[in-house]
Structure 1
Amino acid sequence: MTKYSIMMPFMPTRHEQALPLAALVASGAADRLWQGQALMSEPYQTFTYAAASGFRIPVGTAVTLMPFRHPIEAALQAKSLAVTTGHPVVAGIGPGAAILQKNVLGAPYRSQLGAVREYFTIMGGLLADREVELRGEYFDCRIGLPSLPGPRVELGAGVLRPKMARLAGEVADVAITWLTPPKYLRDVIVPELRAGAEAAGRPMPRLVAMVPVALTAPGRDPAKLVLAGNTGHLSMPHYQDMLRRSGIDVDQPDPTAVAKNVIEGGAFVHGDISEVRDRLVEYAAVGVDEIALNLTGVCQVEGLPSALADLRAMLPELTR
Structure 2
Amino acid sequence: MRIGVTLSERSGPNALGKLTDDVRRVADDGLDSVWMSNIFGLDALTALAVAGSQVPDVELGTAVVPTYPRHPVTMAQQARTTALALGQNRLTLGIGLSHKVVIEDMFGYDYGRPLRHMDEYLSVLLPLLDGKPASFAGETVKAQVGLTVPNEGRVPVVLAALGPKMLKLAGERADGTALWMTGPATVRDHIVPAITTAAKDAGRPAPRVVCVLPVCVTSDIEGTRARAAEVFKVYGTLPSYRAMMDREGAVGPADLALIGDEDTVRAKIEELDAAGVTDFVAGEFTPGEDAVRTRVFLKSLRA
TM-score in same-fold range (> 0.5):
yes
| Superposed CA offset, 1:166-204 (max 9, x none) | 111011112100011111001001111022213322123
| Superposed CA offset, 1:138-159 (max 9, x none) | 1111111126233541111012
**2:104 partner letter:** K
Aligned mates of 2:207, 2:34 — CA distance in 1:
19
Change (3 A) 1:12 1:68: farther
Query: How far 1:54 sits from its partner (Å)?
Result: 4.3
Query: How far 1:56 sits from its partner (Å)?
Result: 6.1
Q: Does 2:272 align with 1:271?
A: no
Structure 2 partner of 1:205: 207
Q: Does 2:282 align with 1:280?
A: no
Aligned mates of 1:108, 1:307 — CA distance in 2:
43
Aligned mates of 2:293, 2:105 — CA distance in 1:
37
Structure 2 partner of 1:252: none
- The answer to whether the Cα contact below 8 Å between 1:159 and 1:177 also exists between their aligned partners in 2 is yes
- The answer to whether the Cα contact below 8 Å between 2:156 and 2:175 also exists between their aligned partners in 1 is yes
Aligned mates of 2:295, 2:240 — CA distance in 1:
33
**2:178 partner letter:** I
Structure 2 partner of 1:316: 299
Aligned mates of 1:85, 1:284 — CA distance in 2:
29
DSSP-derived class of the 1:187 partner? helix
**Count of residues in correspondence between the two structures:** 300
| Superposed CA offset, 1:38-58 (max 9, x none) | 322111222122135445632
Aligned mates of 1:318, 1:122 — CA distance in 2:
39
| Superposed CA offset, 1:120-148 (max 9, x none) | 12111101122211111211111111262
Q: TM (normalized to structure 2)? A: 0.91
DSSP-derived class of the 2:98 partner? coil
**1:162 partner letter:** P
Aligned mates of 2:127, 2:290 — CA distance in 1:
38
Structure 2 partner of 1:91: 93
Change (3 A) 1:52 1:149: closer
Structure 2 partner of 1:23: 24
DSSP-derived class of the 1:67 partner? coil
Aligned ranges for residues 108-123 of structure 1 at < 5 Å?
Answer: 108-123=110-125
Structure 2 partner of 1:9: 8
Structure 1 partner of 2:249: 247
DSSP-derived class of the 1:217 partner? coil
- The answer to whether the Cα contact below 8 Å between 1:29 and 1:315 also exists between their aligned partners in 2 is no
- The answer to whether the Cα contact below 8 Å between 1:91 and 1:154 also exists between their aligned partners in 2 is yes
Aligned mates of 2:29, 2:225 — CA distance in 1:
31
DSSP-derived class of the 1:153 partner? coil
Q: Aligned-residue CA RMSD in angstroms?
A: 2.1
DSSP-derived class of the 1:167 partner? helix
Structure 2 partner of 1:79: 80
Aligned mates of 1:17, 1:103 — CA distance in 2:
32
Change (3 A) 1:80 1:306: farther
Query: How far 1:313 sits from its partner (Å)?
Result: 1.6
Q: TM (normalized to structure 1)? A: 0.87
What residue ranges of structure 2 are gaps of 5+ in the alignment? none
Structure 1 partner of 2:130: 128
Aligned mates of 2:72, 2:290 — CA distance in 1:
34
